[in-house]
Amino acid sequence: MVQESGKPQRICVIGCGGTGKSTLARLLGDRMDLPVFHLDALIWQAGWVLPSREDIIAAQKGNSDGERWVIDGNWDSTMPVRLARADTIIWLDYPTRTALWGIMKRLAHWRGRGRPDMAEGCVERFDWEFLRWVVEFRSKHRQRIPEKIREHGSHARLFQITRRSELPAVLDELLNAASTTLHEHPMRCA
């Protein structure tokens, strides 16, 4: 579906934890005047309580049904809901070391406090289970992403970004920023 403005209207940002999905979503939302929805904020309940899968799907369905949005988050089991509606998919497919570095920076900055992309009552903390998920992401979880994109998001424009250095060019293209590039205003990633 071609938008009047030529700019994407429904952007799905996916990738491993620590890759900067939420930071990118906020930047895109600000620059493109799109509402931003962080799946972690929609899904997690205070104290890091995880609701049922049905509640998780319902939480994101209401937002993805809208005509304009940026939604960030992986949540593999519910990815089809937002991929089916997206006109643009940005896959931050970074190496494990990049994701781990992002996690460590995030932990150092937010430890003991709530992040703006998380549900209220979910204080940033060190979590071995999450860290293990990040370490195992490429070998155990990553392979499902291309399958889900082919099955549910083949209609969308896909940007698979494998290095942070590729991101400014992709953003320039998405934002159609001929006069002011993101190289002049670099993004600080998670």
Q: What is the pLDDT of residues 9-20, one digit of tens each?
A: 999 999 999 999
pLDDT tens readout for residues 123-142: 888 889 999 999 999 999 99
Q: pTM value?
A: 0.85
φ, ψ of residue 14 in degrees (nearest 5): -125, 165
Distance of alpha carbon 178 from the chain centroid: 25
The per-residue pLDDT for 132 is 95
The per-residue pLDDT for 158 is 95
Alpha-carbon distance of 57 to 65, in angstroms, equals 12
* CB-based contact 79:38 (threshold 8 Å): no
Q: Which helix (H) or strand (E) holds 161?
A: strand 157-161
* CB-based contact 114:124 (threshold 8 Å): yes
The number of beta carbons lying within 10 Å of the beta carbon of residue 80 is: 15
Amino acid of residue 25: A
The per-residue pLDDT for 6 is 59
The per-residue pLDDT for 16 is 95
Q: The domain 10-175 belongs to what CATH superfamily?
A: P-loop containing nucleotide triphosphate hydrolases (3.40.50.300)
Which residues of the chain fall short of a pLDDT of 70?
1-6, 177-190
The per-residue pLDDT for 7 is 77
Where exactly are the structural domains of the chain?
10-175
